[in-house]
């Protein structure tokens, strides 16, 4: 069984790979540091499972997953992320993932997720699954505004809602500051907001941003 582990943080990636090798002795774990490397890896050797981070530089984990599934529609993908925002969990599952586990979960949870997915079952970490089942959907008209965004627009929307400066967004996504400014102008028009404060309020209303808490991204 081959597992491809995709994460841009070397220590996290190598630590997780070592853990999987110990807890799943039958697994052959390979690594990729970003989406482009992951896409090249599956061309050379198709894995039985991909464990994917979301916050990758360049091509996001969500977009990488979509591209993988265009090539290999039956490829199981498990998201393994530091983020526990329900809006991001929904985005991951809509991208075609089979499961979602946070990096705060115990090693046993990750291994259980891997085994369940390889057996053909979806797996979402229990607290998240419970919240998804219990949380009412936000206003349909607000959700419609978000559904009109591309994945890159959604990523930048999330970062802006979090209060990240344009320079940091540009560095994280490997784009220019001018491109970030262009996205901000386009987002304000598309989302029908006139200020950063209105953008944050929209993020709160749609459940992307938790009041007093963290934000998906």
Mind listing the pLDDT tens digit for each residue in 129-183?
A: 877 766 555 444 455 567 667 767 888 888 888 778 888 888 888 888 899 999 9
Q: How far apart are CA 70 and CA 112, in angstroms?
A: 27
pLDDT, tens only, 69-92: 999 999 999 999 988 888 788 888
Nearest-angstrom CA–CA distance, 146 and 132 = 18
- Nearest residue to 78 (alpha-carbon basis) of 103, 43, 41, 44: 103
Query: What is the number of other CB atoms lying within 10 angstroms of the CB of residue 114?
Result: 25
Q: What angle do CA 85, 91, 97 make, to 5 degrees?
A: 110
Q: What is the pLDDT of residue 136?
A: 53
- What pLDDT sits at residue 64? 94
**Is a pLDDT exceeding 70 seen at residue 209?**
no
Mapping DSSP to helix (H, G, I), strand (E, B) and coil, where does residue 52 land?
strand
Find, among 147, 146, 140, 110, the residue nearest to 125 by Cα: 110
Q: According to the model, what pLDDT value does residue 140 have?
A: 47
Position 1 pLDDT exceeds 60? yes
| Helix, strand, or coil (residue 31) | strand
The CATH code of the domain at 140-205 is 1.10.10.10
Q: What is the pLDDT of residue 191?
A: 87
First to last CA, the chain: 31
Residue 102: phi and psi, rounded to 5, are: -90, 160
Query: What is the topology classification, in CATH, of domain 2-134?
Result: Rossmann fold (3.40.50)
pTM, entire model: 0.67
Q: Please state, in angstroms and rounded to a whole number, the distance separating the CA atoms of residues 31 and 138.
A: 37
Q: What single DSSP character describes residue 19?
A: H
Any idea where the domains of the chain sit in the sequence? 2-134, 140-205
Q: How far apart are CA 47 and CA 211, in angstroms?
A: 40
Residue 56 has pLDDT above 80, yes or no: yes
Contact 184, 156 (CB under 8 A): yes
pLDDT in tens, 96-129: 899 999 999 999 999 999 998 988 888 999 888 8
Compute how many other C-beta atoms are within 10 angstroms of the C-beta atom of residue 123: 21
Query: In this structure, are residues 91 and 158 in contact, taking their beta carbons and an 8 Å threshold?
Result: no
């Amino acid at each position: 069984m081959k597992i491809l582990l995709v994460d841009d943080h070397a220590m996290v990636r190598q630590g997780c790979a070592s853990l999987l090798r110990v807890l799943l002795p039958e697994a052959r774990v390979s690594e990729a540091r970003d989406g482009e490397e992951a896409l090249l890896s599956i061309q050379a050797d198709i894995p039985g499972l991909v464990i994917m981070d979301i916050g990758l530089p360049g091509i996001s984990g969500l977009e990488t997953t979509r591209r993988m599934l265009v090539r290999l529609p039956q490829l199981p993908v498990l998201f393994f992320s530091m983020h526990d925002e329900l809006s991001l969990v929904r985005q991951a599952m809509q991208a075609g993932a089979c499961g979602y586990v946070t990096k705060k979960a115990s090693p046993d949870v990750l291994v259980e997720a891997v085994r369940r997915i390889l057996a053909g079952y979806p797996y979402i970490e229990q607290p998240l699954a419970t919240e998804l089942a219990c949380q009412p959907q936000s206003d349909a008209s607000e959700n419609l505004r978000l559904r009109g965004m591309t994945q890159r627009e959604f990523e930048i929307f999330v970062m802006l809602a979090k209060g990240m400066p344009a320079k940091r967004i540009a560095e994280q996504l490997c784009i220019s500051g001018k491109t970030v400014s262009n996205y901000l102008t386009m987002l304000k028009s598309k989302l029908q907001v006139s200020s950063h404060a209105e953008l944050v309020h929209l993020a709160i209303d749609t459940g992307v941003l938790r009041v007093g808490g963290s934000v998906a991204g």
